[in-house]
Chain A
Amino acid sequence: QKEVEQNSGPLSVPEGAIASLNCTYSDRGSQSFFWYRQYSGKSPELIMSIYSNGDKEDGRFTAQLNKASQYVSLLIRDSQPSDSATYLCAVNGGGSNYKLTFGKGTLLTVNP
Chain B
Amino acid sequence: NAGVMQNPRHLVRRRGQEARLRCSPMKGHSHVYWYRQLPEEGLKFMVYLQKENIIDESGMPKERFSAEFPKEGPSILRIQQVVRGDSAAYFCASTTGQEDEQYFGPGTRLTVT
Contacts and interface: CB of A to CB of B under 8 A. Distances in A.
Nearest to B34: A99
Given A49-B101, A99-B56, A88 B33 contact: no
B24 interface: no
B106 interface: yes
Given A44-B104, A98-B100, A100-B102, A88 B95 contact: no
Interface in A23-51: 32, 34, 36, 42-46, 49
B35 to A, nearest CB: 8
Contacts of A94: 100
Contacts of B106: 42-43
A98 B42 contact: no
B100 A92 contact: yes
A101 B33 CA distance: 12
Interface residues of A, number: 23
B25 to A, nearest CB: 13
A106 to B, nearest CB: 11
Contacts of B105: 43
A98 B33 contact: yes
Given A99-B45, A101-B45, A105-B42, A46 B55 contact: no
Interface in B21-59: 31, 33, 35, 41-45, 48, 55-56, 59
B107 A88 contact: no
Contact of A46 (B35, B45, B48, B101): B101
Nearest to A34: B101
A44 B41 CA distance: 13
Contacts of B104: 36, 43-46
B91 A44 contact: yes
B65 interface: no
Interface of A: 32, 34, 36, 42-46, 49, 88, 90, 92, 94, 96-105
